[in-house]
Amino acid sequence: MSDSFDLGEPPQPATRAPDAAYRVLARKYRPQTFSELIGQDAMVQTLGNAIKRDRLAHAFLMTGVRGVGKTSTARLIAKALNCIGPDGQGGPTIDPCGVCEPCRAIAEGRFMDVIEMDAASHTGVDDVREIIDASRYSAVSARFKIYIIDEVHMLTKNAFNALLKTLEEPPAHVKFLFATTEVNKVPVTVLSRCQRFDLRRISAEQLAAHFAWVSEQEGVVAEPEALMLIARAAEGSARDGLSILDQAIAHGSLDGAGVTADAVRQMLGLSDRGAVRDLLGLILDTDAAGALASLRRQYDYGVDPVSVLRSLMETVHGITLTKVGTPPDAAQPMEERAARADWAAALSFPSLHRLWQLFLKGHDEVAKAALPIEAAEMALLRAIHASSLPDPGELARQIASGAPVATIAAPAAPTPAPAPAPEPVATGPVFPDTFEALVNRLDDSGSIAIAARLRHSARVVSYAPPEIVLSGSRPISADTLAEFGAALKALTQQAWRVTMADAPGEPTLREMQDAADAANKQRYMDSPMMKAAREAFPDAELETWPGQRSNA
């Protein structure tokens, strides 16, 4: 690729030598044609079809993360719309020639009819008013007068409102090209007037291939693994990746080693993949001392503890994908793929999901911790402890296969101790057989308050309907007894005699219920399945169990 063009840079004086000033790779290898714009094939195809069919919009909005080519795309569109070809007779084309005067002038940033404005430093309505006033005049020497507004979301609300009318119905010779990283801050009224292109993050594979080409052009030997590390660190941004590559070339230029993976890891503070695999192996082997020593070694080499947790998360994620059956990444070393395949065969999905959650929680804690390395050590120890615990589902299956767990049913709730059999009633209506049945009938009939007080306080000395002798766990007032007698008369249509006696009496209905629940829980805790579960999880607590009754 020729480096004679520098978009947006003033032309160099003719007397200056070509190599008088070094240009960073991000500027030197800025795309000069749409074919050099990597990772945005869908947008290029759409623009090409629009140009061929003469269906050009009057305003375009390019959005995406940093470094994916938004401003470069805007400049390329300006060249494509104003290119006249080598013979001066050409029209708009998706493949601008790059040699005609408009193409060269736009590339060198000196074309009068392509006005580029940074909205971050020109935010007010007065700046927009200048654009509106100037847009009324025809282009000086070009087919279209093009306004490129970078970081358009920085315009004020009034500036956006002032632009709306011109943006909706601009003169035929005017095109607007907007670029922004925060499209959510652009008003909907502006978005609806633009043809929007969402530029995608560039894949790591495409970035690595591009960096390999740049290294070849620069005469630098670069290891493929080093380029892949740079591509992943760039997070989809070509500019970020080229800046890192520039730094890596400078890092290795003195010893002539080129760009190596070890140098890139050291420069970026990344964990060595082999060290990460060793660390994960120590965690799975529950070797706490070895894991902490491995972490400290990486920390002493300058590796950020957050980077270690991130690398462990990436490894667990890769193992999970391998277990699912996702094709392996061709850019990974063979030993990495082999290790992930072995772990995928040995670890279950629940174990992998548990490791992921533990490392994710540890990553967040380390990122916020005042003592990062100490927090990282505690996160690893937590993961080591958890990795030694059996999976609850697998534990249940093992217990079921080794003991007749399938036949172990939840113990039935014991019935309260029966009250003394009531004396037979010679004549009269049929009364409930027990005091508990009588209280339940009161509850069902709507006398809820009376039933609740009797259930919690009354001890039965004798129950011989229509006579009841009670004693109280707590004093029972005369009013309560009177209300009880009235409720019984309304329920059975017969007068009852309710008296108090200074005698122990039976336990209250509530006490009998609590005793039954305690016995039920104890029988459940003594079952073989629960004993095995408590041995595996000694800190676990049983909150509910089959047959437990409501405390209401």
Residue given tokens 């990283």 in the structure block: 181
Domains of the chain, with CATH numbers?
31-198 (3.40.50.300), 273-389 (1.20.272.10), 435-506 (3.30.300)
Q: Which one, of 62, 56, 57, 92, lies nearest residue 74 by Cα? A: 62
Identify whether the C-beta of residue 158 lies closer than 8 Å to the C-beta of residue 125.
yes
Q: What is the pLDDT of residues 316-327, one digit of tens each?
A: 999 999 999 888
Q: What is the pLDDT of residues 30-57, one digit of tens each?
A: 888 888 888 888 888 888 888 888 888 8
Q: How much of the chain, in percent, has pLDDT values that exceed 90?
A: 16
User: Rounded distance, CA 393 to CA 391, Å?
Assistant: 6
pLDDT of residue 11: 42
Identify whether the C-beta of residue 36 lies closer than 8 Å to the C-beta of residue 1.
yes
0.85 exceeded by the pTM?
A: no
pLDDT of residue 433: 82
pLDDT of residue 91: 85
Q: Which one, of 214, 274, 277, 290, lies nearest residue 246 by Cα? A: 214
Indicate if the pLDDT at residue 421 is higher than 70.
no
Average pLDDT rounded to a whole number, residues 21-25: 82
Q: How far apart are the first and last CA of the chain?
A: 81
Confidence of residue 530 (pLDDT cuts 50, 70, 90): confident
Indicate if the pLDDT at residue 255 is higher than 90.
no
Classify 512 in phi/psi space as left (phi over 0), alpha (psi -120 to 50) or beta: alpha
Cα radius of gyration (the chain)? 40
- Bridge partners of 114, per DSSP, are 146
User: Rounded distance, CA 505 to CA 432, Å?
Assistant: 19
CA 233, chain centre distance (Å): 19
Q: What is the pLDDT of residues 266-310, one digit of tens each?
A: 777 666 677 888 899 999 888 899 999 999 988 887 788 998 999
Q: What is the pLDDT of residues 201-244, one digit of tens each?
A: 888 888 999 999 999 888 888 888 888 888 888 888 888 889 98
User: Rounded distance, CA 514 to CA 279, Å?
Assistant: 52
Identify whether the C-beta of residue 434 lies closer than 8 Å to the C-beta of residue 463.
yes
Confidence of residue 3 (pLDDT cuts 50, 70, 90): very low
Neighbouring CB atoms inside 10 A of 347's CB total: 18
Identify whether the C-beta of residue 84 lies closer than 8 Å to the C-beta of residue 77.
no
User: Rounded distance, CA 361 to CA 201, Å?
Assistant: 27
Q: Which one, of 177, 165, 168, 174, lies nearest residue 136 by Cα? A: 174
Identify whether the C-beta of residue 328 lies closer than 8 Å to the C-beta of residue 322.
yes
Strands of the 114-118 sheet, one edge to the other: 114-118, 145-150, 174-180, 59-63, 195-198
pLDDT of residue 474: 67
Burial degree of 255 (CB within 10 A; 0-12, 13-18, 19+): exposed
DSSP summary character for residue 269: T
Q: What is the pLDDT of residues 127-180, one digit of tens each?
A: 899 889 988 888 888 889 999 999 999 999 999 999 999 998 998 899 999 999
Amino acid at 424: P
Indicate if the pLDDT at residue 111 is higher than 80.
yes
Q: Which of 349-353, 374-378, 512-516 has the lowest mean pLDDT?
A: 512-516
Indicate if the pLDDT at residue 183 is higher than 50.
yes
User: Rounded distance, CA 85 to CA 99, Å?
Assistant: 7
User: Rounded distance, CA 81 to CA 94, Å?
Assistant: 8
Amino acid at 26: A
Confidence of residue 2 (pLDDT cuts 50, 70, 90): very low
Q: Which of 8-22, 484-498, 508-522 has the lowest mean pLDDT?
A: 8-22
- Bridge partners of 178, per DSSP, are 61, 149
Average pLDDT rounded to a whole number, residues 527-532: 76
Q: How much of the chain, in percent, has pLDDT values that exceed 70?
A: 83
Of residues 477 and 471, more confidence is placed in: 471
pLDDT of residue 552: 41
Q: Which of 185-194, 260-269, 455-464, 531-540 has the lowest mean pLDDT?
A: 531-540
Of residues 350 and 17, more confidence is placed in: 350
Q: H-type helices in 169-304, by residue range?
A: 188-191, 204-218, 224-234, 238-252, 261-268, 273-284, 288-300
Identify whether the C-beta of residue 92 lies closer than 8 Å to the C-beta of residue 83.
yes
Of residues 427 and 102, more confidence is placed in: 102
Both structure tokens of 78: 């300006």
Of residues 257 and 202, more confidence is placed in: 202
Write the DSSP assignment of 111-126 as a string of letters.
-TTEEEEETTT--SHH
Neighbouring CB atoms inside 10 A of 491's CB total: 18
pLDDT of residue 548: 58
DSSP summary character for residue 369: -
Residue given tokens 């500019």 in the structure block: 239
pLDDT of residue 358: 92
User: Rounded distance, CA 509 to CA 439, Å?
Assistant: 9
Residue given tokens 């969402």 in the structure block: 198
User: Rounded distance, CA 198 to CA 68, Å?
Assistant: 10
Confidence of residue 8 (pLDDT cuts 50, 70, 90): very low
Q: Which of 24-33, 285-294, 481-490 has the lowest mean pLDDT?
A: 481-490
Mean pLDDT in the chain? 80
Of residues 88 and 550, more confidence is placed in: 88
